[in-house]
Structure 1
Amino acid sequence: MLREDGVRVVTMDAPPVNALTVQGWFDLADALREAGEDPGTRAVVLRAEGRGFNAGVDIKEMQHTTGFDALLGANRGCHAAFKAVYECAVPVVAAVNGFCLGGGIGLVGNADCVVASQDAYFGAPEVKQGALGVATHLARLVPQHLMRTLYFTARTVPASQLLQFGSVLEVVPREQLDDAALAVAGEIAAHDTRVIRAAKEAINGIDPVDVNLSYRFEQGFTYELNLVGVSDRLRDDFAGTSKADSQPGKGTA
């Protein structure tokens, strides 16, 4: 939805927990690219309906898929969506409600500004499912040692703590989240879009970490864990799939 002020709103809505399917990740990437390519778009708000912002990959979909198509699809889909946020031609404001886990961290870590509700919390529980990834993006939200602790323990951190680090701009009551995100995006949209688009490209150009390559490096270890069968067993436990129903070669990001 493109508002009169030039702010485009992109909404994730995949009940019950916004765990996106393979196609869902590619659809989100397409929506974000389309937003940036539209000359009428001056800023983007990325938000979600439902209980939380994003719960990552749809693991149940993965566990009902044989072969390696799901693994490849999830990895490529997440990479495409994260890249689309980072490389969107205009700034992206993430409006985070409830849980922001796994792939949600990849989206938020690549956003230009983050506004969160008071019930929002962030984490990367990949070690529980035998997958690696988004440490690249978690490192953009919290200091290095906390990132490592959160990653190795699968703990979560509240939005109020990220507010102290400056990675979250504002924490508001949930009912005020959309208005808060739209207000920031509106401030951006009020400037000459030619300058803002140039500024986005310039800031990305001086980024000390190539987030696209860094994330792909992490994904390589996910492939290794899948090949030795560790990931499949852990995902079965998570999804409640019996090993009698499990098929060799299933995978997820």
Structure 2
Amino acid sequence: MSAVTSEVREDGICIVTMSHPPVNALTVQGWFDVASALDAAGADPRVKVVVLRAEGKGYNAGVDIKEMQNTTGFDALIGANKGCYAAFKAVYECAVPVIAAVNGFCVGGGVGLVGNADIVVAAENAYFGVPEVKQGALGAATHMARLVPQQMMRALYFTAATIPATELHRFGSVYRLAPPEQLLEVALEVAASIAEKDGRVIRAAKEALNGIEPVDVNKSYRFEQGFTFELNLAGVSDELRDDFAGTDKAKK
């Protein structure tokens, strides 16, 4: 069963939902499923806007480290890198605007999705972070830099600290805050204000805004991934992932 489902409503809003308990840490296939859902939504002439949301206690906890630890060789690592790249790219290049409706925690790969979204709506208790340095990987700095100022991004990246949605709202990168129980309602309200417009104009506007971006997010993220491969080849990543997995198991 796929961790990603998609529903196209009569008003032109497509709701894409991620659900992979317990923490929405997506497998390799899960990341490609996100990409496929966004690609399909953009290719559907009925769709004017996408709401990318999640079920459960958090929005996204990044890649499934357990899958990586239980796979010999580098297949899972390469798959996760390619899957994340495809998913982030699909969000950014979706032919229609993508609204990220963020509940709870949004870390690692979750920031990659949200940072490439057009609009972010978040629950008042949501928080964001890129803890990659603790696990011997790099990535999503490209996307965190779209949510916070440069020095703030570097501080969050080096310290692996998190930042609350309320702060991102102050920076302007979170468009609307909502009580957790009203998150989808608020996201759909924002989506409806887009869906009422002419779809041809909305699609042209999305393409135009992407065309004037000062940073090529796809190339920037791919550059980051190169350092993740270096750390893996050096054995650093395995060591830190083993420590993380051991700590995680101890908690359970």
TM-score range normalised by the length of the shorter chain: over 0.9
Structure 2 equivalent of residue 45 of structure 1: 51
User: How far apart, in 1, do the equivalents of 2:10 and 2:47 lie?
Assistant: 10
Cα deviation for residue 111 of structure 1 reads 0.2
Whole-angstrom CA distance in 1 between matches of 2:35 and 2:43: 12
Select the residue among 206, 214, 232 that pairs with 2:212.
206
Report the residue type matching 1:71 in the other structure.
Answer: L
Letter in 1 for 2:245: A
Corresponding position of 1:168:
174
After the TM superposition, which residues 18-167 of structure 1 pair with which residues of structure 2 at under 5 Å, given as runs?
18-167=24-173
Shift of 1:4: 1.3
Partners of 1:208 and 1:45 lie apart in 2 by: 25
Tell me how far apart the structure 2 counterparts of residues 147 and 94 of structure 1 sit (CA, whole Å). 20
**Cα distance in 2 for residues equivalent to 1:27 and 1:172:** 27
In structure 1, what is the Cα distance between the partners aligned to 2:148 and 2:204? 27
| Aligned position for 2:250 | none
Structure 2 length normalisation: TM-score?
Answer: 0.95
Identical counterparts, % of pairs: 75
Letter in structure 2 aligned against 1:55: A
- CA shift, 1:141, in A, is 0.1
Tell me the distance in 2 between the aligned counterparts of 1:155 and 1:90: 32
1:228 aligns with 2:234: yes
Deviations 1:176-199 (A, max 9, x none): 100000011111111000000000
Q: Secondary structure at the match of 1:62?
A: helix
RMSD: 0.7
Q: Displacement, 1:71?
A: 1.0
3-state DSSP of counterpart to 1:141: coil
What SS does structure 1 have at the residue aligned with 2:8? coil
Per-residue deviation, 1:40: 0.4
Q: Which SS does the other structure have where 1:8 is aligned?
A: strand
Q: Tell me the residue number matched to 1:180.
A: 186
Question: Of residues 8, 11, 15 in structure 2, which corresponds to 1:2?
Answer: 8
Q: Which runs of 5+ in 1 are unaligned?
A: 242-253
Q: Distance in 2 between matches of 1:211 and 1:140?
A: 10
- Distance (whole Å) between structure 2 residues aligned to residue 192 and residue 207 of structure 1: 23
Determine the C-alpha separation between the residues in 2 that align with 1:12 and 1:166. 25
> Which of structures 1 and 2 has the larger relative contact order (alpha carbons within 8 angstroms, sep 6+)?
1
Write out per-residue CA displacement over residues 114-153 of structure 1, whole angstroms, 9 at most, x where no aligned residue.
0000110000000010000000000000000000000000
CA–CA distance in structure 2, aligned partners of residues 54 and 210 of structure 1: 24
Which one-letter code corresponds to 2:92 in the other structure?
Y
Report the AA paired with residue 85 of structure 2: H
